[in-house]
Amino acid sequence: MGRRRGEMPAIDGQVRRARHPSDAFCGDETSFIPFAVERILRGDFLEFSFARCSVGRSIAGAICNATRPGLERLVMKLVNHLSAIALGVSVVWLGVARAASPEKPVDVTAQGTFSYGPVSGFLQTPAGGEPGTSTLKRPSLHELGIDDALFYEADLRLRWHRLCLEGGAQFIDLSESGTLPHTFVSRGSTFTAGEYFSTDNQFDWYRVSAGWQLDLSRRLTLVPKVEFVLLDFSYALSTSSQAVSRSYAKGGVRLGFDTVYALSELFSLSLDGGVALPLSNTPQIYSGLGQLHLHPFPSRWRLKPEVLLGVGFQRIDYEDNQTLPNHVRGDFGPFVNAGLGVSF
C-alpha cells in the first residue's frame, strides 16, 4: 500500500506524518519569535509561515475546500505573505515597547574607596582673630612633615526613577611628628625651630546631594546636582613645652555633576565633579574624580558588585571673616583611587 504525501514509513504498524521544522514551534511562544525572526531574515517565507502551524493550515484548508483546487497555491502564498507581514509588525511593536519601557524604578548603590597622593597647604590659626597671633599661611603642611595623604570615602546613592539622592563622607587624617625646621607663631604661641613636635589634623567633610538623571544617549547619562557640604576641621600641635588646638564645623553649598558612559556590559567610565558657591565664611571645596568601573557579573543579577579604579584631585579651603582670619587649605592630588561597590 503506497504512502500518501507527507507520511513517514510505518513503524510498529503506525503511519506517521513528517513534521515540518516550524511545527515544533506552534503553540510555544518563547521559541516561536526567535525562530520566526530568523526565517524572515533569511527570506524563507514559503518555508516558514503561519499557514504551516495548525491554525494556519485549518484556515487555508477551509478556503481551498470552498474554492477550486487550482486556487490552493495562490491561497497558500497569500497566507504566507500575510503571516510574514503580521509577524514583522509584531516584532517591531515588541521592540518599540521594550525600548519605551522604563528601567527598574529604584536603584541603590553603595561604594567604599581609598585614595592616596600628594598634599600641600597650610594651617593659619590665630587666637580670636587678633593680629600677630598667627604667622600668615603658617604652619605649612610641608614644614610639619606632611607631603602625602591616605584618605577614605564612603558613598550611598539612591535613584528613584530619575530623581537621584546621594550621601557621602570623606575622612582625611593628616598626622605627623618630627623636628620643626622653622620658627612660626600659631594660636598666640611661638614654636621654635629645632623643637620636637607632634601634630594631628583632620579635614573630614560630609555631603548630601539631590540631582536629576538625563539620558543623553543609550550609553551616556548625566546627573546635574546641588550638594550641601559640612567641613569638620580640627588642628592640634604640641611640643614638649606647649600645645595649641582648634576645631570647627562649617557648612556650604556646591554645584556638581555625575556622568557615566557604558563602554560595554563589563566596563563603564564615570566622571564626578563639583565646585563650591563663593559664599562668605563657607568652605570652598572643589573636586574631580574619574573612575573605571569593572562589572564582573552579568547585569541581569539582582546584586551587582563592581571594582573601581580612578584618579582625581580636590581642594579644601576655608577662610572666615575675622581681622586675622582662620585660613586653612589642603590641595590633594593628583591622587589614585580604588575601591569596591555594590548595586541592588
Cα–Cα dist 172/169, whole Å: 10
Tell me the C-alpha distance between 313 and 298, whole Å. 32
Are the CB atoms for 317 and 281 separated by under 8 Å? Answer: no
Domain-located, residue 1: no
Task: Report residue 275 as a C-alpha cell.
Answer: 565646585
pTM of the model: 0.70
157 in the same domain as 306:
yes
Q: Residue 231 domain-assigned?
A: yes
- CB contact at 8 A, 169 and 206: yes
- 133 and 17, same structural domain? no
Please give the C-alpha separations between residue 79 and each of 63, 65, 147, in angstroms, as whole numbers. 11, 15, 80
Query: How far from the centroid of its chain's Cα atoms is residue 328's Cα?
Result: 33
The terminus-to-terminus CA distance of the chain in angstroms comes to 67
- Establish if 286 belongs to a structural domain: yes
Location of C-alpha cell 504512502: 3
Residues 161 and 292 in one domain: yes
One domain for residues 273 and 329: yes
State the number of CA atoms in the 13 A half-sphere of 336 facing the CB: 2
92: in domain:
yes
* Same domain (yes/no): 259, 284: yes
Residues 95 and 111 in one domain: no
95 plus 110 within the same structural domain: no
Answer yes or no: is 11 within a domain. yes
Expressed as residue numbers, the domain containing 55 is 7-100
β-bridge partners, 231: 205, 250
Q: State how far the alpha carbon of 139 is from the alpha carbons of 33, 98, 113, 179, 284, in Å.
A: 73, 61, 30, 13, 20
Total domain count, the chain: 2
Of 65, 100, 135, the residue that ends a domain is 100
Same domain, 189 and 271: yes
In a shared domain, residues 54 and 176: no
For residue 111, give the CATH number of its domain.
2.40.128.90
Q: Is position 2 within any domain? A: no
Phi and psi at residue 21, in whole multiples of 5°?
A: -55, -35
My answer on whether 94 and 237 are in the same domain is: no
For residues 50 and 34, is the Cβ–Cβ distance under 8 A?
no
Residuewise pLDDT in 10s, the chain (344 residues)? 444 444 444 444 444 444 444 444 444 444 444 554 455 444 444 344 444 444 444 444 544 454 455 555 554 555 455 555 555 545 444 443 443 334 678 999 999 999 999 999 999 999 999 999 999 999 999 999 999 999 999 999 999 999 999 999 999 999 999 999 999 999 999 999 999 999 999 999 999 999 999 999 999 999 999 999 999 999 999 999 999 999 999 999 999 999 999 999 899 999 999 999 999 999 999 999 999 999 988 767 778 899 999 999 999 999 999 999 999 999 999 999 999 999 98
Burial 305-320 (b: 16+ CB within 10 A, else e): ebebebbbebebbbbb
User: Residue holding cell 555631603?
Assistant: 207
Strands 304-319, 327-343: pairing is antiparallel
